[in-house]
Amino acid sequence: MPVNLTAPDPASLLPIAGVRLGIASAGIKKPGRRDITLIELAPGSHVAGVFTQNRFCAAPVTLCRQHLAHGGIRALVINTGNANAGTGEEGLRRARRTCEAVAEIMQCAPEQVLPFSTGVILEPLPVDKILPALPAAQADLAADHWSEAAHAIMTTDIVAKGASRQAQVGGRTVTVTGIAKGSGMIHPNMATMLGYVATDAAISPALMQQMVKEVADVSFNCVTVDGDTSTNDSFILIATGQAGNPEIRDTGSADYAAAKLALSAVAIELAQAMARDGEGATKFMTIAVEGGRDRAECKQIAYAIARSPLVKTAFFASDPNLGRILAAIGYAGVGDLDVNALKVWLGDVLVAENGGRAASYTEAQGAAVMKEAEITVRVALNRGKASVTVWTCDFSYDYVKINAEYRT
C-alpha cells in the first residue's frame, strides 16, 4: 500500500482560471475505464515542457516537441492503456490523427494540440477507440475536474496524485494546481512520469522553458522507484496569465522567485507522492547527500543508494544491513572520494565514520529505525558545500508481482 499517502480531497485542488478539463471512457485497455483526458487552455496561455531522454521516445513525445516549437497551445489530450511507443511511423500517424480530431472539436490547429500516452509499449494506438470518445471529453470540460483527471491518467498507480498552492506574486494571489501519474518505470532522465502543473500567473513565454526545467530539477528529477526511464516521460508547465499580476520577465526578480517557489512546492509534493506510491512500496526513503564539491557528485552518490536493489530490499526487510549503503557510495563513480572523511546517518543514528562502523553505533539502533515507514539516509561527504535530496521507496515482493502481471 502507498506509504502515508491518500488521494487529495477534490475540493483541495483549486481551479486555474483559463484551464478546463474533461474526462471520457474509450475502453482502451478495460471496458468502461475513464482513460481519456482533454485539457482546454484559454487563448494567450503559455506552455513549456521537458521530456524523456530515452532514445526510444514515444510518438506523442516527438509530436509534443514539434508542436511546442510552434507555440499557441490550446489543448492537451492524454490517453492511458497504450504508450504509443516503439510504433514507428505508424505511431506518429496515429498520434497526428488524434491531434487533428481534437483540433476539429476544439476549433484550433492540430499544431496547437499536445498529445500524451501512457501504458503498454510496442502496441499500436487504438485511434478507433480514442476518436469516438473525444466529444464526450469535450462535453465534460469543467474548471473543477482536476481530481477526475488525476484519476483518469493513472496506470499502475494506487492513489491519484494532485496538489495546489497559492502565493502572492506582483501584489496578486496566484494559484498553482498540478496532477501527475507515476508508480513504476520511474527514474530521472528529465522527469519520469506524466505531470501537468498549471498556474494563472503571468509568465513571459521567454522564461517558461527555464522555469519548467528549474522546477523539474528540484522535483521530478529527484525521484526514483526502479531506475528505469520511461519512453513517455513528460512534464508540462502551463501559465494562463489570468491572475492579473504584472508579467514576470526577469529571472532575478522577487516575482520569479515567488512563482517558482509555489510551482516547485506543487511539483515536489507530486514527485514525493510517486515514491510513496511506488509499485509495491512499503517504505518511503529520503536520501540526503551534503558536503559535496558540486551537485553532480552529490546526485551520483544519492542515486547509487536510492536505486540499489540490495539497499531497497534491505529496507523492505527492515534489515539494518548498512554495508550495502557504504558499497553504493563507493561504486557511485566519484573517483577521488575520501571514504575516511565521510559520515553516514540512518535517521538520527550515526552509522559510519572514519571509513567504517561508528564506535557509538549498535545493531539495535539500526533495527529500530528500519522498522519505520519513512526513513532518511544522510551522507556528509565533508568536501564542499553542495547538497542534493532525492526520494525513493523499497522493493517488495509486490513490485515483482505487479510488473510480472502488467499486461494481464
259 and 301 in a single domain? The answer is: no
Q: How many domains does the chain have?
A: 2
Whether residue 201 lies inside any domain: the answer is: yes
Going by pLDDT thresholds of 50, 70 and 90, the confidence category of residue 328 is very high
Which pLDDT belongs to residue 138?
A: 98
Same domain, 202 and 249: yes
Confidence of residue 324 (pLDDT cuts 50, 70, 90): very high
CA distance 386 to 407: 43
Domain presence at residue 4: no
Look at residue 192 in the predicted model and tell me its pLDDT.
47
Residues 101 and 233 in one domain: yes
What pLDDT, on a 0 to 100 scale, did the predictor assign at position 403? 62
C-alpha torsion 138→139→144→146, nearest 10: -40
Q: Is residue 93 part of a domain?
A: yes
Please tell me the predicted confidence (pLDDT) of residue 225.
66
Instruction: Specify whether 192 is catalytic.
Output: yes
Q: What is the CATH number of the domain that holds 189?
A: 3.60.70.12
Judgement on whether residues 114 and 76 belong to the same structural domain of the protein: yes
The answer to whether the CB of 83 falls within 8 A of the CB of 233 is no
Residue pointed to by grid coordinates 522577487: 254
* Residue 227 confidence (pLDDT): 55
Q: Which of 42, 44, 60 is nearest to 52 (CA)?
A: 60
pLDDT at 239 > cutoff 60 = yes
Which CATH number fits the domain that encloses residue 335?
A: 3.10.20.340
Q: Please identify which of the residues 52, 118, 192, 392 carries the catalytic annotation.
A: 192
Confidence of residue 229 (pLDDT cuts 50, 70, 90): low
Residue 315 lies in a domain: yes
Q: Is residue 270 part of a domain?
A: yes
The stretch 209-237 carries a mean pLDDT of 84
DSSP 206-264: HHHHHHHHHHHHTTGGGB-SSSPPPSS-EEEEEE---S-PPPB--TTSHHHHHHHHHHH
Q: Pick from 231, 253, 276: which residue ends a domain?
A: 276
Q: What is the mean pLDDT of residues 264-287?
A: 90
Phi/psi at 196 (nearest 5 deg)? -135, 120
Q: 117 in a domain, yes or no?
A: yes
- Tell me, yes or no, whether 75 and 170 share the same domain: yes
Tens-place pLDDT, residues 26-77: 999 889 899 999 999 999 999 999 998 777 789 999 999 999 999 999 999 9
Q: Are residues 196 and 120 in the same domain?
A: yes
Instruction: Kindly state the cell numbers that stand for 265.
Output: 512546492
- pLDDT tens per residue, range 198-209: 999 999 999 999
By residue count, the chain amounts to 408
pLDDT score, position 247: 98
Residues 6+ apart with CB under 8 A from 297: 334, 381, 386
* Residue 400: pLDDT over 90: no
Q: How far apart are CA 390 and CA 258, in angstroms?
A: 23
Same domain for 211 and 346?
A: no
**What is the residue range of 363's domain?**
284-404
Residues 42 and 151 in one domain: yes
Same domain, 223 and 321: no
How many Å apart are CA 56 and CA 85, to the nearest integer?
7
Indicate the SS3 state at residue 82. Answer: strand
Task: Determine whether 67 is exposed, middle or buried from the number of CB atoms within 10 Å of its CB (0-12, 13-18, 19+).
Answer: buried
Domain boundary among 251, 276, 301: 276
Task: Tell me the pLDDT tens digit for each residue of 106-153.
Answer: 999 999 999 999 988 899 999 999 999 999 999 999 999 999 999 999
Identify whether 35 is part of a domain.
Answer: yes
Question: At 183, is the pLDDT very low, low, confident or very high (cuts 50, 70, 90)?
Answer: low
Grid cell, residue 224, equals 526514483
Task: Please say which residue of 276, 302, 336 terminates a domain.
Answer: 276
CA distance 181 to 178: 11
Within its chain, how far is the Cα of 173 from the centroid?
Answer: 26
Question: Pairing relation of β-strands 284-292 and 374-380?
Answer: parallel
Same domain, 240 and 289: no
Same-domain pairing of 218 and 292 = no
| Same domain, residue pair 228 and 343 | no
Which whole number is the average pLDDT over 270-293? Answer: 90
For 65, which DSSP code? H
- For residue 189, the model assigns a pLDDT of 53
Q: What is the pLDDT at residue 191?
A: 44
Rg (CA), the chain: 22
3-state secondary structure of 33: coil
CB 386 within 8 A of CB 292: yes
Asked whether residue 2 is domain-assigned, the answer is no
